[in-house]
Amino acid sequence: MAVLSKADARAALTLPYEDVPVPALGPDTRIRVRCLTALEKDKYDMWPWRLKGEDGKPVFNPEGTRGLVLSMTCVDDDFQPIFTAEEANVLRSDVAEPLFDAAQRIGGLNAKVEELKKALGAAQAGASRTT
C-alpha cells in the first residue's frame, strides 16, 4: 500500500466547484459554488448552536444557515466570495435554493441537514413537553 505523498496531499487542497445555472437571474446566468474548507465546515456545524438561552446553554436555531453556507461557497472566477452572509440571507429563494442544493451536494452536507432536522424535531418535542 502506497503512502500519500505531500504532492498528492496538496491535490486535496484544490476545492471542487460547480458553475450552477440560476435561471431566475437570466437564461445564461451561472454562479460558481465551491466546496467548504474544513474550517468553514466547522463553522457550519456549530452555527445552529451559536445562541445561548437564558440558562446559558446553547439553543438550537438554524436561522441563517443557508446564508452562511452561500456566503462561504458562492465565489467569483478568482474564488473570492461574492456575497456576505447578510446579502445571502436576503436572496430570493428561487436564486438561493439551487445554489444551496449545489453547496450541499459538492460539500457532502446532505447528511448534516438530516441530522439538523432530527435535532430540531427533538428540541421542539422537548420544548412542548416542558411547557
Q: For residue 72, what are the contacts with CB-CB under 8 A and spacing of at least 6?
A: 36, 40, 43, 44, 81
Spell out the domains of the chain, with CATH numbers in brackets.
16-130 (3.30.2220)
* Entry pTM: 0.75
pLDDT single digits (tens) 35-55:
999 899 999 888 888 888 888
Q: What stretches of the chain adopt beta strand conformation (E)?
A: 17-21, 30-34, 51-52, 58-59, 74-75
| Burial group, residue 74, by CB count within 10 angstroms (0-12, 13-18, 19+) | buried
pLDDT single digits (tens) 9-30:
777 778 999 999 999 999 999 9
pLDDT at 102 over 90: yes
DSSP state of 36: P
